[in-house]
Amino acid sequence: MSKGPGSRAGKSSGRGQRDLRVRVKTAKGRKLSSKLWLERQLNDPYVARARREGYRGRAAFKILELDDKYRFLVPGARVVDLGCAPGGWCQVALQRVNALGEKGDKAVGRVVGVDLQEVDPIAGAEIHQLDFLSEGADDLVKEWLGGPADVVMSDMAAASSGHKATDHLRIVALVEAAAQLAFDVLEPGGTFVAKVLAGGAEAEMQLTLKKAFTKVANVKPPASRSDSSEKFVVATGFRGRPETDQDS
């Protein structure tokens, strides 16, 4: 991907060349990690683009790019976004499934977002404060959607412990839990999309998904930072809960 004006210009003796990267001075008491994070944010073209286009975060472009490739957010689809804060994925979904009915000749979809924390309202989406691991959460989700879901998506990540192996195991556990809810609420033929961290511990989860869906892809969209170990699993063509999970 070509670098935009927010990227650091290469060394050159040519006239007019200059370093366009925004630098942040380390104020007294500010940790170096905070300084580096802020500097990265200020120079991230996706952050700037999110501000221009009205999205609540750069993560919106990850689901945009995934949907551009796999086309699961279609007009009329019913979508549940697990761990939806701050709401960028919901914003993308409601536009693409025509939740506001702005595409008069297209079916009107529905978007439900759930999160442990309170999330500011989003016009066109229905947001609920809910622990999706709680008993009866699947029934509530289907009630809010008005039926089974066509898409279950999750950009959730556990709070970082600073230990890569531990963080990997935590996010795999989250994805497995999200997949279990997807098995309960998805319509046949539906899609499950979730963030994972590369690390090798997700082999069993991948096997389970391959039993439940006709196709399972693992992809790193362009909006995902190159220095991040995150990737996304996109499972399409839901066939039903795997037989080994029937009695679990």
Q: How far is CA 77 from CA 65, 101, 184, 191, in A?
A: 18, 12, 17, 11
* Residue 156 bridge partners (DSSP): none
The active-site residue out of 25, 106, 195, 231 is 195
Task: Check the annotation: does 6 bind a ligand.
Answer: no
Tell the residue number behind the tokens 């999110």, with chain if given: 50
Q: Is 245 known to sit in a ligand binding site?
A: no
Q: What's the rounded Cα separation, in Å, for the pair 119 and 114? A: 9
Query: Is residue 131 a known part of a binding site?
Result: yes
Per 3-state DSSP, what percentage of the chain is helix, strand, and coil (rounded to 5)? Answer: 35, 20, 45
Residue 195: its H or E element:
strand 186-197
Reply yes or no on whether 195 is catalytic.
yes
232: left (phi over 0), alpha (psi -120 to 50) or beta: beta
Residues that constitute the known binding site? 87, 89, 115, 131, 155
Active site residues: 195
Residues that constitute the known binding site for S-adenosyl-L-methionine? 87, 89, 115, 131, 155
